[in-house]
Amino acid sequence: MSIEGQTIHRETFVVNLGPQHPATHGVLRIKLTMDGEYIDDAEPVIGYGHRMHEKMGENRTYAKFLPNTARMDYVAAMFNTHGYVCAVERLAGITVPERAEYIRVVTAELNRLASHLLWAGAFLIDLGGFTPLLYTFDDREHILDLLESVTGARLTFCYYRFGGVCNDVDDQFVAGTREFIARLRSRMPMYHALITKNIIFRKRCEGIGIIPAETCRRYGATGPVVRGSGIAYDVRKAEPYSAYPQLNFNIPVYPEADCMARYLVRMDEMMESMRIIEQALDLMQPGPVMAEKVPKMLKPPKGDCYFNVESARGSFGVRAISDGTDKAYRLKLRSPCFSNMSLFQECSRGMLLADALALLGSLDLVIPDMDR
């Protein structure tokens, strides 16, 4: 208190959000310094989901590490496997047959749809609406059935192998995928009527959680977060890989930089993913799905390579260093969630706690992916 009574007495208190809190989507802990209902400082504390993936990459042979990749970002497991497999293929100089590349694109984009559907349901739960989750999970189960028929797993797929994929897709899968896309496309207007046009949802999202493009650049944010801030960055376009150069698709970008923009980016991305899948199914020709002469015990020559793919959350990168043995010398995994989460501390300053949770939900974090 100053003598004139000009300064208002200000008192802050500390609240722990997590590690067990439904809005943190797992085990993220945020140490909040609150000034009433407003956030003074939000310090993320990570490490509650650390599972030693990078260390295991050095302790296991290349093939034995494959199942691990599915357990980092388990909501979109295909992308992690894709990044890892491509990095090792580049190290070892393996060429993948064309059909396998198209199968990879189809399954990866199906997984992107599943991931975005799950996010939409979970985000709405954060904002207090339970019903959309039941609809999105209903659609998601169709995708999981399709992927289960070729991969054998519902969630933690280990489908890609060095040099291709382990199973060829059959006509039933192709027909089922086309049928599902027709169904999801017919349901998108329903989602927009249920969620996008909902006035409560709009009030919770529009103008809330602004992330300036400059902040995204500084923290290295990628994926729908950066595209919701007006930067058209997508690894599929910036550094095309797999069969993406042959496919025609757009990158949805919204310049508003609020939670609504990030939501709309993901909804539009789902439409684009459906276009990609249809094109890839049309272009797919019969042929082998595995490269010939890939040794069982892979020993890539000495080298160092970095490969990144566009995961459902952003750019997922793998840096593999080989010393000529059957195990990687170093395996660095770049998780999109970690960079996306890092900007939360800066952007949430001065926000209402309830709005900050909307911002946190719109970042689409998977905690064990962040902690690795």
Partner 1 sequence: MDEQTQVPPGLIHFAAMDQILDLARANSLWPMTFGLACCAIEMMATGAARFDMARFGCEVFRPSPRQSDVMIVCGTINKKMAPAVVTLYDQMPEPKWVIAMGNCAISGGPFVFPGQYNVVEGVDKLFPVDVYIPGCPPRPEALIEGFLELEKKLTGKRRWPVAKAQ
> What string of DSSP letters covers 90-101?
HHHTPPPPHHHH
- C-alpha pair distances (Å), 297 with each of 63, 90, 92, 269, 313: 8, 16, 12, 38, 32
190 binds partner 1 (CB under 8 A): no
Q: Which stretch binds partner 1 (CB under 8 A): 41-49, 184-192, 222-230, 265-273?
A: 41-49
330 SS3 class: strand
170 binds partner 1 (CB under 8 A): no
CB of 20 to partner 1, least distance (A): 5
> What string of DSSP letters covers 208-246?
-S---HHHHHHHT--THHHHTTT----HHHHS--TTGGG
Nearer to partner 1, 111 or 242 (CB): 111
CB of 176 to partner 1, least distance (A): 16
| C-alpha–C-alpha distance, residues 251 and 234, integer Å | 7
Nearer to partner 1, 40 or 148 (CB): 148
| C-alpha–C-alpha distance, residues 112 and 280, integer Å | 15
Q: Among 34, 40, 41, 60, indicate the residue that binds partner 1 (CB under 8 A).
A: 60
> What string of DSSP letters covers 203-216?
HHHTT-S---HHHH
Q: How many residues bind partner 1 (CB under 8 A)?
A: 37
Q: Among 13, 37, 43, 59, indicate the residue that binds partner 1 (CB under 8 A).
A: 59
276 SS3 class: helix
b/e string for 126-152 if b means 16 or more Cβ within 10 A? bbebeebbebbeebbebbbebbeebbe
Q: Which stretch binds partner 1 (CB under 8 A): 136-144, 185-193, 243-251, 287-295?
A: 136-144
Nearer to partner 1, 50 or 178 (CB): 50
The pair of three-digit structure tokens given for residue 35, joined into one six-digit string: 């000034």
- The contact mask relative to partner 1 for 65-94 (x = CB under 8 A, - = no) is --xx--x--xx-------------------
Q: Which residues pair with residue 344 across a beta bridge?
A: none
Nearer to partner 1, 60 or 332 (CB): 60
183 binds partner 1 (CB under 8 A): no
Q: DSSP assignment, residue 30?
A: E
Residues 209-248 that bind partner 1 (CB under 8 A): none
Nearer to partner 1, 55 or 203 (CB): 55
Residues that bind partner 1 (CB under 8 A): 19-22, 25-27, 47-52, 55-56, 59-60, 67-68, 71, 74-75, 118, 121-122, 133-135, 137-138, 140-141, 154-156, 367-368
